[in-house]
Amino acid sequence: MKRIFLAISMLCVACFCRADEGMWLLQLMQQQHVIDQMKAQGFRLDALDVYNPDAPSLKDVVGLFGGGCTAEIVSSEGLLLTNHHCGYSFIQRYSSLEHDYLTDGFWAKSREEEMKCPGLTFQMVDKIIDVTPVVEDSIQSGKTPEEKTFTQPFLNTLALEQMKAHGITLTADKEPVAGKPLISGRALPYYAGNKYYLLVYKTYTDVRMVAAPPSSVGKFGGETDNWMWPRHTCDFSMFRIYGENGKPLQTDKHLVISLKGVEEGDYAMIMGFPGSTFRYLTASEVANRMRAQNNPRIKVREARQAVLKEEMRKSDAIRIQYASKYASSSNYWKNSIGMNKAIVDNKVIEGKKQQETRFAAFARQCNNQAYFQVVQQIDEKMKQLYQPTFNMMVVREVISGIEFFREGMNLMYDKKEKPDYQKVYERIHNKDYNHDVDRKVAKQLLPLFRQLMAGQELPTYFQLIDTKFKGNTDAFVDYVYDKSVFANEKSFAKFQKKPSDKAFAKDPLCVVGASLKDFYLKVSADYTAKAERLDLLHKTYVRGLCEMYAPTPKAPDANLTLRMTYGNVKAYDPRDGVHYEHYTTLRGVMEKEDATNPEFVVPAKLKELYAKKDFGRYTMKNGELPVCFLTTNDITGGNSGSPVMNGNGELIGIAFDGNWESLSGDINFDNNLQRCIAVDIRYVLFILDKLGNCGHLVNEMTISE
């Protein structure tokens, strides 16, 4: 145990070395001397201005938006800024043929027009508590096997016990008081389980939509420009937190907005909730990620998206229904393509192998047999896990892609109690579901499922396809989509007149659902059995790497918790003879305009403002209007909507994307190529003010000129 505690302490030792890599834990930034390095580059605040558990600090203006993005508070009345793509599902939810906010934008001209968004939350970190000693004592005493410390039951129990021990009242499981935040806690492993922290959250549940530009502005460039630079997207939307008595939340702290602009080399920092990184993977694990995860994801999503794109093109109603689903699917489809390419182009696997060679020498030097064996043990696990991982990915992607089948499987998980048939029907036929579109998706994905799983066991309903339907997948799909009692209102009404469990069990959708459930459980069990003790191998490897690199500090992998990253505004050279400037302007929007391509349509009013050069106080010194800029900050999914701040902690932009050349960055950070793409806050305010006529929202903010 002494060796474990020594390794844990070494995680917090640091030296002064310039590096933009690092999603740093706020509570360790002083201890790891990250704050000192930030100050050397242009940070002009103190450690307590970033994280103070007892007084307002930057942690109190940044929160987890909707469970998967970041947003920041920009006024004393709870006004939030995040990305357009983060608010997209809510913009889409309220859109219709009569009120097409996706196309026209949404601009609340008064508080009364701000729209409630049921289910949308804003979650802020209140305190961060080191509970590593508690976990280690539990392991040392034999109370908890080490491998159990990674499991959700252990982490949930730990969170509850430690909140009580620190006098924190849990309210998340109680009846909430209207307008008051819910108090909850999460205990999580960091550094692959070498450290554990309890995060105490305040969650606000009344969050309302305030403003969103039309998609021609907020999604300008669409799928074509996604993950690309140069970029010309004004990727923002605005919401507001409401507190007690249905009034806007009065906040103790909010971000000041700077209109001073950015120059090459300027200091920039980002606070947010990065979702997941995998910087400590071995070479074999990177190869497995490419072949067993990214490849099947690309193929399944590509097939589904082709159907959705064609159906959305033919109908505005279907376009609105499937806009959010398509965007969500497309985002990580393209990310997976780019990641595989970047892993090869940036020689990531070769770099991992070089690190493993150094690690083996380090293990020999310190005579540590566990370190010397761990990479080989992980490699053996990867050989065993390739097929189970591939199978899991195919099953998940296909099931999530065919909504009718997915609901059939959900029905089987709900069978502990008699299902409410009416609720089941309403859940399936929600406003964003089209039965015929989903039927076409199924006809594309089922043959692909069989093809990808060639030589592997298939769900039992494929036997039905081969026997009763003589291998005709389309006929089988039509049978399920036409004959299920949940297929349409007429069939369901007939079933409801005389519902029976026997008829329910024999329903084609339920037969498919039962087959999928059994198959998924079998595939999942195979993966779990072969992945046994992989977490402990990673714990050993990460501890060893941190010792090897000491005294240089290493940040833990992202896990959707609050982090800080620092860097600079910076251009880059992706290839020989190619140079990308650090910013773009509205002129580039006009140059990209293509009225025949819905991804590059420019609103008439925006063209008029450009022609008149009516940029107001948001213009640059050269008379142009800034649109986006680049920084070297270390971000990933989950950072979408994160505030980009200058050395004074003032808002200068909103992070929304990364660049194509560095899409292997979740696995290996490249200081030369890695860039964060941010929308310039001046462009955001220009669109809000001049295009949306929402000067009242601009006036609500605190602006530094």
Residues marked active site are found at: 85, 235, 640
**Contact present, 198 and 131 (Cβ < 8 Å):** yes
The whole-angstrom separation of Cα 226 and Cα 222 is 6
Strand 703-704 with 257-258, pairing: parallel
Q: Compute the distance between CA of residue 234 and CA of residue 331 in angstroms, rounded to an integer.
A: 17
- For residue 649, what is the DSSP state? S
C-alpha distances in angstroms, 616 versus 84, 549, 634, 657? Answer: 23, 51, 33, 27
Residue pair 317/97 in contact by the 8 Å Cβ criterion = yes
DSSP 411-475: HHHTTTS---HHHHHHHHT-TT--HHHHHHHHHHHHHHHHHHTTTS---THHHHHHHTTTT-HHH
Instruction: Determine how many CB atoms are found less than 10 A away from the CB of residue 8.
Output: 18
Q: Count other Cβ atoms within 10 Å, centred on residue 487.
A: 21
SS3 track for 205-257: CCEEEEEECCHHHHCCCHHHHCCCCCCCCCCCEEEEEECHHHCECCCCCCCCE
Q: At CB < 8 A and 24+ separation, what contacts does 511-515 make?
A: 511/461, 511/464, 512/405, 512/408, 512/409, 512/461, 512/480, 513/405, 513/407, 513/408, 513/409, 513/410, 513/411, 513/412, 514/412, 515/459, 515/460, 515/461
Cis? peptide before 551, omega within 30° of 0: yes
Angle between helices 132-140 and 2-10 (to 10 degrees): 160
